[in-house]
Structure 1
């Protein structure tokens, strides 16, 4: 095809004249309502597209299954410049979803994710607010991160405390879930969001404390998550069902899988080191994190829970902290370890009298990565663990006038020993 060659224009352009003839340019800034609508629409399209892609995956392919990373952008309505440091985006903010099983973003799904990033860029504040990726106001739905005095940790008394904790875990009366039943865990959670402020300095904010409820079948194939605080999780929750059979592992366990693990602490620790080789910030930290992941949002067989605590005490760098507090303010002793890479210390907190698992807290032990010493990077509190008959079913509540409900064949006490 013959194209007309481009020729240099001989006469000069009168830009002033052209400016008078052309209409005035529009305002490139979108309204906040319009931006919110675009973001919500794009996130909905992303979720739908990924679900469609997942359905086409062959068995054995990577997928969004229970424990996989989520595309949730963190707290609902995070302002531009905010980065949600929930799972696994930053040391010290511990995952609520296991690493190792990544969502597959192909075709239109990947394109939509890029488009969502473009909308996030459009939501940057007005000129002079600190540049791209910054915001003049703190992220919506967040509060300043708590700052605490960093308590000293020591190996003194660690062995005795672990003996008490593992003994309490082994004695837990846990009903064995039957096929068709579901393991239920309810927690109060809050994780860090780093805000790139208008002055260019990082400010530490955390999500407002909010509930998180998970139902999971014993085989791990069926589940449900309710965390309405999260922008990309529907008010009624989202499915955790897998697209097909998957191979369970320490990074993506099911209750049935956990029952097959050895309870001897030495054998457990060897398996953990072998299976997590090459992950995380060094083998010792990854082993500690893996055990913590199992305790946070699982119902673990009692003897295995006891073995996990004893295995954790054998990891170099693990210490006992005399006083720590979970997300709802319950105090107790803690088994803890600081990540050598960034100084974030994760503490598993146990009741002083019953030695039952209360929750977890991650505290910054030194200034690093823009996070000041003493900053609480995240904390959780387990408020219920039970075995129920259906998704969205809640454990039986105490009758009016009763102080607490005794354990039933389908329910465990609120403070079950980390299991």
Structure 2
């Protein structure tokens, strides 16, 4: 059995990844496995991580306040003040977000020759039993992706999509939540042992974390997310990997002992980050044929913690806003 097959087996219970977190995580994984070799591109649904660290790798080119870097008219003032922010539940919180987004004037769609710039922060895993072997991980916080990524658009071997494809797919999503969720299941097919609701939550997370997404489309996505069974809102603001306050929209991941947390900015309800939190104590044993102690996890541990601090449309590869 080759090394990568064993690594996949070891992380078989990791949460299903999505495009939102893969860009910085991919580089960390590449450097760890290949001893610093850069530039390897793999499909976005790897379930891999450092053996000792159990760092789950998740989705592409994301993280920050989604609409903050997007030009265009905006209502005066923040989305919600500390006193008016409703964290009582999915319908209330995501409904409040949707109403705000519906009041925004959408910026124009990017041109095909433009690029999507993002800047990301990766927090170290927080494991009460010890972080294991964390040495050697590196990543580039800055990322540039062509808006019309022709290579990605031609490759239909997986569900990876260009920013242009995601923008247009999101813009075309129907108003009805049930119909919207059915389209999301077509866009992002079920991964391994996912049930339908987990598949929907992951797929919506990919769309929320993509950049740019029309505000009205994001509003429809939030309304649909609020209807998925098991979705919850943390009753207080949490701190993301960049040290900012964020709204946590959460759902337990079937068979993984972990909870996926999609983080939103309370100032404009844009995407702020993604993390995975352990929901119960457990120990992951080494797969057959590998030696060494298993990794212990404690309820409350954070295995993935990523934040996007900036996102913008720019005119060239390497340009910054």
TM over 0.5: yes
Output the CA distance in 1 between the equivalents of 2:167 and 2:34: 39
TM-score (norm 1): 0.50
Alpha-carbon shift at residue 40 of structure 1 (Å):
4.5
Partner in structure 2 of residue 383 of structure 1: 309
- CA gap 1:252/1:190 in 2 versus in 1, 3 angstroms: farther
Are 1:212 and 2:124 an aligned pair? no
Partner in structure 1 of residue 21 of structure 2: none
Alpha-carbon shift at residue 287 of structure 1 (Å):
1.6
Name which of 253, 258, 263 aligns with 1:339.
253
Alpha-carbon shift at residue 185 of structure 1 (Å):
1.8
Are 1:262 and 2:173 an aligned pair? yes
Alpha-carbon shift at residue 258 of structure 1 (Å):
3.1
Output the CA distance in 2 between the equivalents of 1:186 and 1:162: 25
Partner in structure 1 of residue 83 of structure 2: none
Name which of 238, 261, 266 aligns with 1:352.
266
Task: Trace 1:82-121 onto structure 2 (pairs within 5 A).
Answer: 82=52, 85-87=55-57, 94-96=58-60
Structure 1 stretches lacking a partner, 5+ long:
1-35, 51-63, 88-93, 98-154, 195-200, 222-240, 396-419
1:174-196: CA deviations, max 9, x gaps?
342112111222211246599xx
| Larger of the two Rg values belongs to structure | 1
Partner in structure 2 of residue 163 of structure 1: 95
Output the CA distance in 1 between the equivalents of 2:55 and 2:191: 18
Partner in structure 2 of residue 271 of structure 1: 183
Name which of 292, 295, 298 aligns with 1:372.
298
Alpha-carbon shift at residue 167 of structure 1 (Å):
2.8
Output the CA distance in 1 between the equivalents of 2:54 and 2:203: 21
Partners of 1:338 and 1:344 within 8 A in 2: yes
TM-score (norm 2): 0.63
Output the CA distance in 1 between the equivalents of 2:187 and 2:165: 18
Most deviating of 381-390 and 209-218: 209-218
Task: Trace 1:47-196 onto structure 2 (pairs within 5 A).
Answer: 64=41, 68=44, 82=52, 85-87=55-57, 94-96=58-60, 156-170=88-102, 171=104, 173-190=106-123, 192=125
Output the CA distance in 2 between the equivalents of 1:179 and 1:258: 12
Most deviating of 182-191 and 373-382: 182-191
Structure 2 stretches lacking a partner, 5+ long:
1-30, 62-86, 285-295
1:34-82: CA deviations, max 9, x gaps?
xx9x9649x57xx7xx8xxxxxxxxxxxxx57x54689x96xxx7xx53
1:327-386: CA deviations, max 9, x gaps?
112123221111131231122223335433322222111113332111011112221111
Are 1:286 and 2:204 an aligned pair? no
Output the CA distance in 2 between the equivalents of 1:330 and 1:69: 28
Alpha-carbon shift at residue 391 of structure 1 (Å):
0.7
RMSD over equivalenced CA pairs, Å? 3.9
Partners of 1:277 and 1:283 within 8 A in 2: no
Alpha-carbon shift at residue 286 of structure 1 (Å):
2.1
Output the CA distance in 2 between the equivalents of 1:345 and 1:386: 29
Alpha-carbon shift at residue 206 of structure 1 (Å):
6.2
